[in-house]
Amino acid sequence: MPPTPTELREPVLAWFGVHARDLPWRAADRTAWGVLVSEVMLQQTPVVRVEPAWRSWMSRWPTPADLATASTADVLRAWDRLGYPRRALRLQECARAVVERHGGVVPSSEPELLALPGVGSYTAAAVLAFAYGRRSVVLDTNVRRVLARTVDGVALPAPSQTVDEVRRATRYVPDDDATAARWAAASMELGALVCTARSPRCDACPVQDVCAWFAAGRPADEHAGRRKVQTFTGTDRQVRGRVMALLRDALGPVPAAAVDAVWPDARQLARCVDALVADGLITRDPAASDDDPPTYRLPS
């Protein structure tokens, strides 16, 4: 039998009261903009890397209006090595939309949040919960894993989120706004610190006694064959990262020869450079004459 909402929620909320990390986007003086920035940065990037970047970012651009008028090159440099730099461009687009449509204030309704560039269902739900203390169904990878184990008795959720999964998660969200928002943070924290993907610490889990997966003997992942194994070495992502790092560190335009030197496979490099140009992450300046090679720089 899966745990009832009360059986699952109460121990997790009590555990969170003791073990919650002191993160700046959870502070009493947090802003909705700060929460939104943190959620974008935390996509596929661990907290330990995000926290210093977030502090620096918020010090430099504490409001959407500040980021909206910033140089794109400065934004990309500030993003540094957080990865997936298109997130930085989308965040700046989002800031401009907040300024233009909402007077510089991050909206507090789900439809308005979803209409912002780069904001999907998870980010909108997270902003509602963590910035505005509103009831929403916050389903990141950590929460999905906690519910898959404790309620469904499986090692990991299916690779793609399903309608039934959202309905199941909704049943476990408390009815009142304040407790619902706290449950969102608590269940996420449990997945991040205890109910981890590779090495779950069941001995330290506050709901071990009602966990369906633990009761079943911690069976293996039934979806293992359907999951993509993410690699980095030799991928286009690695190549793109090297090109971006070169241009971020440069004081001026970078000649094509310097870009060519960052990767030995010329065809792969050319493909990645073309993609970076198409994504608006770098600019290719044409040669001044037939004797001069083209140069590359961050967008201005």
Q: Which residues are catalytic?
A: 39
**What does the alpha-carbon distance between residue 210 and residue 22 come to, in Å, rounded to a whole number?**
28
Amino acid at site 247: L
Handedness of CA 232, 72, 96, 63 (dihedral sign): positive
Alpha helix (H) residue ranges in 1-46:
5-19, 32-41
Query: Around Cβ 117, how many Cβ atoms within 10 Å?
Result: 14
Give the closest residue to 41 by CA, choosing from 51, 32, 31, 33: 51
Question: For the chain, how long is the longest CA-to-CA vector?
Answer: 75
**What does the alpha-carbon distance between residue 118 and residue 87 come to, in Å, rounded to a whole number?**
8
Amino acid at site 61: W
